Structure 1
Amino acid sequence: MPATGGVTTAWPTVHAGDDVPLDIPRVPAREAAERELSDPRYHENDPNLLQRALDGFWDWLGRLFDSASGATPGGPLGLVAIAVIVLALLGALWWRLGTPRREPVTTDPLFDDRTRGAADYRAAAEEHAAAGRWNQAVQERMRAVVRSLEERTLLDPRPGRTADEAAAEAGRSLPAHADGLHAAARAFDDVTYGGRTADRSAYQRLKHLDTAVERAKPESSTAPRGAAG
């Protein structure tokens, strides 16, 4: 023991079991901690990659919602009201336009039987209408309109013609009914290819158009040669 001025001073003895911090250099200490934490036992309950991605997404969505709520009048309640209005508008638009078409509506011909006359198509349309089969009634009445125009030579009979093509060609001979013919072709396409459902009013409009077109006289400058009035 060292002595100072005749006084004996006892230094404390440090044992390995005493809770005394050791002075370890910073870099080795960090490396030792990394080696310890890399032990798989510390990561047995960690979330997997998918869970971490989902947690990150929900955190992002929560922050986005909080930001939008702060910028929207009425806070969260106002944001919910806006979302409801947007969904209602989308639903109304979907109902108005129907199911999106997978293919262009002008790919298939209007007629599948070249032996039937306009009177046959009208009779079939009336039969479907009486039974409430409005889709079929609309289809048969549109065929009656076009076949009647062919029988009057206002349209040249042409295999493979579509409803849109027939309406465009007939509209040049009967310009006063061009809009009605285009609307009829659209109704035919909607129920035939677009997944829409017709009703009584749709059929009645086509029926009135059929009657009006049958009585109409073409303009002499646009009618096909040999057209009858």
Structure 2
Amino acid sequence: MTGAGGTITAVRIVRGGEDVPVDIPRVPAREAAERELSDPMYHEHDPNLLERGLDRFWDWVGDLFAGAAGAAPGGPLGLVVLVLAVVGLGAALWWRLGTPRRAVRSPETLFGGTVRSAADHRAAATAHAEARRWTEAVQERMRALVRSLEDRAVLDPRPGRTADEAAAEAGRLMPAHSDRLRAAARVFDDVTYGGRSADEAGYLSLCALDEDLRATKPLLTAGTSLETAG
């Protein structure tokens, strides 16, 4: 209550279960009330700025999906089918093309620092193929193919040779297989430096080329018009 002198003669402050009458002037009473109401206990359930922002974001996401479900043929079920189709398409592209790398490396040498025979490379390729590691199997079979050509003196042994160079040189001496040699070199570069994944079909194709080259005699002179099987 307010008295004639501008004071609050009976202010009841309830705190901690107690009802305490207090006589206090108006201005100090208002200040005391403001301090009391500023206590965090009165605001512990009020959402802060971040919480309000998150609530609005999730409301927007819900509205977005609700609108998409309404626009999609078949309603919510149609939206689910559409999402699954997009995910399936992405998975199929990833399986077919492999995991892309940030940058494609320039082609490097075909062989590493360790010198191995064609038979060793073929054995390694077979082991990888049996374990269904097609990328490694393709790499080893391509190395076996080129090493075999070097062993037969079709190609001069050259440590720094790349797969593309080997295919181009062998293709000039075995023109009937030049296209397949270039394709094999391209597959080797794709899986070794381009981040692609090889598959069983690519490996079997390379094996067939390796066997065909082993049975083929190269052109030794400019007057020879066709290569013959040996």
Give the corresponding residue for 1:6: none
What is the Cα-based RMSD across aligned positions, in Å?
4.0
Does residue 63 (structure 1) correspond to residue 63 (structure 2)? The answer is yes
Distance 2:221 2:50 in 1: 73
Letter in 2 for 1:70: G
Structure ID, larger Rg? 1
Letter in 2 for 1:101: R
Q: Which has the higher strand share?
A: 2
Does residue 104 (structure 1) correspond to residue 123 (structure 2)? The answer is no
Residues 15-47 of structure 1, C-alpha deviations (whole Å, 9 max, x = no match): x9xxxxxxxxxxxxxxxxxx99x9465643233
Distance 1:52 1:180 in 2: 64
| Alpha carbons of structure 1 residues 142 and 62: separation in structure 2 relative to 1, 3 Å | same
Q: Which moved more, 1:172-181 or 1:70-79?
A: 172-181
Normalization by structure 2: what TM-score? 0.59
Asked whether the equivalents of residues 134 and 203 of structure 1 are also in contact (C-alpha less than 8 Å), the reply is no
Letter in 2 for 1:78: G
State the Cα distance separating 1:86 from its structure 2 match.
0.8
Distance 2:50 2:177 in 1: 62
Asked whether the equivalents of residues 174 and 219 of structure 1 are also in contact (C-alpha less than 8 Å), the reply is no
Distance 1:190 1:144 in 2: 18
Listed as ranges, the gaps of 5+ residues in structure 1 are 1-15, 17-34, 222-228
Letter in 1 for 2:144: A
Distance 1:206 1:67 in 2: 52
| Alpha carbons of structure 1 residues 85 and 175: separation in structure 2 relative to 1, 3 Å | farther
- Number of matched residues? 186
Distance 1:76 1:134 in 2: 41
Give the corresponding residue for 1:32: none
Distance 2:59 2:147 in 1: 64
Give the corresponding residue for 1:53: 53
State the Cα distance separating 1:80 from its structure 2 match.
1.2
State the Cα distance separating 1:211 from its structure 2 match.
1.9
Listed as ranges, the gaps of 5+ residues in structure 2 are 1-7, 9-33, 223-229
Give the corresponding residue for 1:73: 73
Structure number with greater CO (CA < 8 Å, separation at least 6) is: 1
Asked whether the equivalents of residues 96 and 197 of structure 2 are also in contact (C-alpha less than 8 Å), the reply is no
Identity of aligned residues (%): 58
Normalization by structure 1: what TM-score? 0.59
